[in-house]
């Protein structure tokens, strides 16, 4: 399985060394990434690679801000494929992504 690769210290630093804010951010991440995930699935269904790419981009950015390297990498791949109009690999990547998101959901 893919490693989450979370740099917690980085995330904490970004949060101004505030655990509460970090928690808040993680919550926000969960919410926004869920919404983006849905967009990706829809995009695959509609064969809309642009939508896929945009949503992947969004996840990617958020993940990068919080130092979640694993998600960032997967999202980057997804975005790249989406930009190239190539939806083949997306389903596989989706699986990975979902798994990682589940992990994040479990973070305390």
CA 82 – CA 60 distance, rounded (Å): 13
Nearest distance in Å: CB 60, another protein: 7
**Pair of tokens at residue 93:** 């990547």
Site size for another protein (CB under 8 A)? 21
Residue (of 43, 47, 46, 12) closest to 26 by Cα position: 12
Single out the segment in contact with another protein by CB under 8 A; choices: 25-33, 40-48, 85-93, 94-102.
25-33
CA 52 – CA 96 distance, rounded (Å): 15
Question: Which H or E run contains 88?
Answer: none
87 part of the interface to another protein, by CB under 8 A: no
- Residue 31 or 91: the one with the smaller Cβ distance to another protein is 31
- Residue 58 or 96: the one with the smaller Cβ distance to another protein is 58
CA 62 – CA 64 distance, rounded (Å): 5
One of 40, 52, 62, 93 touching another protein (CB under 8 A): 62
Q: Which residues bind another protein (CB under 8 A)?
A: 13-16, 21, 24-25, 28-29, 31-32, 54, 57-58, 60-62, 64-67
């Amino acid at each position: 399985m893919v490693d989450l690769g979370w740099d917690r210290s980085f995330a904490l630093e970004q949060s101004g060394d505030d655990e509460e804010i970090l928690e808040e951010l993680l919550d926000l991440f969960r919410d926004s990434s869920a919404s983006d995930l849905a967009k990706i699935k829809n995009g695959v269904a509609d064969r809309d690679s642009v939508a896929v790419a945009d949503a992947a981009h969004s996840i990617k950015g958020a993940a990068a801000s919080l130092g979640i390297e694993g998600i960032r990498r997967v999202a980057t791949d997804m975005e790249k494929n989406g930009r190239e109009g190539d939806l083949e690999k997306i389903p596989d990547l989706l699986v990975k992504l979902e798994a990682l998101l589940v992990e994040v959901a479990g973070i305390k």
